Amino acid sequence: MKIQEIRALEILDSRGFPTLKVTLTLEGGGQGSASVPSGKSTGEYEAAERRDGEAGRHGGKGVRQAVRNVEEVIAPALMGQAFTDQAQIDAVLLHLDATPNKSRLGANALLGVSLAAARAAAARRGLPLHTALHADAHLLPVPCFNVLNGGAHADNPLAFQEFMLVPAGRPTYAEALRAGAECYHALARLLEDRGMSVSVGDEGGFAPQIEQPEDALDLLVRAVERAGYHPGEDVFIALDPAANGFYRDGRYVFGGRSLSSAQLTDLYRDWLGRYPILSLEDGLSEEDRDGWAHLTRALGRRVQLVGDDLFVTNPERLRQGIAQGLANALLVKPNQIGTLTETWAAAQTARGAGYRLMMSHRSGETDDSFIADLAVAMGTGQIKSGAPARGERLAKYNRLLEIERDLGDRARFAGRAAFGGEA
């Protein structure tokens, strides 16, 4: 395939900040577009977004330079060349940028082109994206709904960032989505009954004025029951404390507490006995590698331990972490690394080591649903895309409904097995 044209456009993300959308056209037909998300609680070692120096009229820093890099550097280098596959295109992107963290052209510029190319290639073949990426993909991921927001994603006093409901015990993806939405509404009624705010955070989850993570966990369990589901059978819990956010001078400071790494691990162990928790992401800071090793030894057989900031979807950082016995699952965020090929490589490295995979959105999102198809193509068995409300979150969840319907009898819902462990 030969690339005929690549255009980029500065658009706004779900927080009203600039990001970019790339459209790539192939010679002889086939066009694809992709929009790039943006995180707020970013890991230290994520690939660098290209942002302009000055805050623009949107209040956030623009991506005009990233747009120019797509149109003036990347497009001329790719146009007219014949490519046989995605890996070749991504290799040229890496070569053009030639920095370890994509800071020259910007991981946002590279990813936009990389994903748009995948879409264009699928369109040319007349295939749905998930099928084009992996021919017999048929595993529908368990959706993890972030229904209570804290940390960097909300202005409430809750230090832990994400409290997710995981309807892993439902029979199909569509039933899981329905359960998530019903629990979300039940939670709203519960909060209203208690006179608490139902305003929402960046990912569409509620952000009431609570401070203690245990209060949030209790609310989740009550909401599941109120919606008529069984906690620990139909619906489970996943957490993303995003512990970098409350790590101060070697201690974890939240809700009036100051805990050592070992004490926080003990607290998590206690919660595993009290709440139906299936998954714990970034339970400790990325800097606290000894703590991570201890956490993994202590709880890794009982619960999924996901590395997000810890691994930043980077195959090399993941390899180091695996060698040190850190975590047992990888959070997959394409924009942390910058190309589709490297995202696959990270996922494959994780799989090879027996680590599980959770596909993930960013807190700043667009209506692009690429990660829904990618989750199916990779067979991650898990996806988190925020609350079951707000368009940019539902773009992914609703896309998965279409995929499940289109796969028909071949569709399989990953269910509880996707999380391993005993919980």
- Residue 362 interacts with ligand 2PG (CB under 6 A): yes or no: yes
The encoded tokens of residue 351 equal 């799989």
- Residue 148 interacts with ligand 2PG (CB under 6 A): yes or no: no
Select from 413, 336, 378 the least CA-distant residue to 118.
Answer: 378
User: Residues in contact with ligand 2PG, total (CB under 6 A)?
Assistant: 12
- Residue 240 interacts with ligand 2PG (CB under 6 A): yes or no: yes
Please pick, among 102, 162, 286, 333, the residue that the annotation labels catalytic: 333
Select from 110, 204, 135 the least CA-distant residue to 165.
Answer: 204
- Residue 240 interacts with Mg ion (CB under 5 A): yes or no: yes
- Residue 363 interacts with ligand 2PG (CB under 6 A): yes or no: yes
Exposed / middle / buried, residue 124 (Cβ in 10 Å: 0-12, 13-18, 19+) = middle
Residue 314 or 363 with smaller CB distance to ligand 2PG: 363
* Phi, psi values for residue 154, rounded to 5°: -155, 165
How far apart CA 60 and CA 169 sit, in angstroms, is: 41
Determine whether 333 is an active site residue.
Answer: yes
> Considering only residues 175-214, where is the footprint of ligand 2PG by CB under 6 A?
203
- Residue 308 interacts with Mg ion (CB under 5 A): yes or no: yes
Closest approach, Cβ 408 to ligand 2PG, in A, equals: 31
Other beta carbons less than 10 A from residue 73's beta carbon = 15
Three-class SS of residue 320? helix
| Nearest residue to ligand 2PG, by Cβ distance, number only | 39
The interface partner of residue 40, options being Mg ion, ligand 2PG, none and the CB cut-off 5 to 8 Å by kind, is ligand 2PG
Closest approach, Cβ 402 to ligand 2PG, in A, equals: 23
User: Residues in contact with Mg ion, total (CB under 5 A)?
Assistant: 3
Three-class SS of residue 142? strand
> Among the candidate windows 21-29, 76-84, 114-122, 275-283, which touches Mg ion by CB under 5 A?
275-283
325: Cβ–Cβ under 8 A, 6 or more apart, which residues? 293, 296, 297
Three-class SS of residue 187? helix
The encoded tokens of residue 389 equal 């409300």
How far apart CA 176 and CA 141 sit, in angstroms, is: 10
> Considering only residues 46-65, where is the footprint of ligand 2PG by CB under 6 A?
none
The encoded tokens of residue 125 equal 């073949």
- Residue 14 interacts with ligand 2PG (CB under 6 A): yes or no: no
Among 19, 25, 41, 108, binds ligand 2PG (CB under 6 A): 41
Q: Longest C-alpha distance within the chain, in Å? A: 63
Closest approach, Cβ 177 to Mg ion, in A, equals: 22
Instruction: Output b/e per residue, 321-337; b: 16+ Cβ within 10 A.
Output: bbeeebbbbbbbbbbbb
- Residue 13 interacts with Mg ion (CB under 5 A): yes or no: no
Residue with tokens 């690939």: 47
Determine whether 203 is an active site residue.
Answer: yes
Residue 43 or 106 with smaller CB distance to Mg ion: 43
How far apart CA 201 and CA 147 sit, in angstroms, is: 9
How far apart CA 90 and CA 92 sit, in angstroms, is: 5
Query: From residue 95 to residue 124, what is the string marking binding to ligand 2PG with x (rule CB under 6 A)?
Result: ------------------------------
User: Binding residue per annotation — 46?
Assistant: no
Binding residues for Mg(2+): 240, 281, 308
Return the active site residues. Answer: 203, 333
> Given the rule CB under 6 A, which residues bind ligand 2PG?
39-42, 162, 203, 240, 242, 308, 360, 362-363
> Given the rule CB under 5 A, which residues bind Mg ion?
240, 282, 308
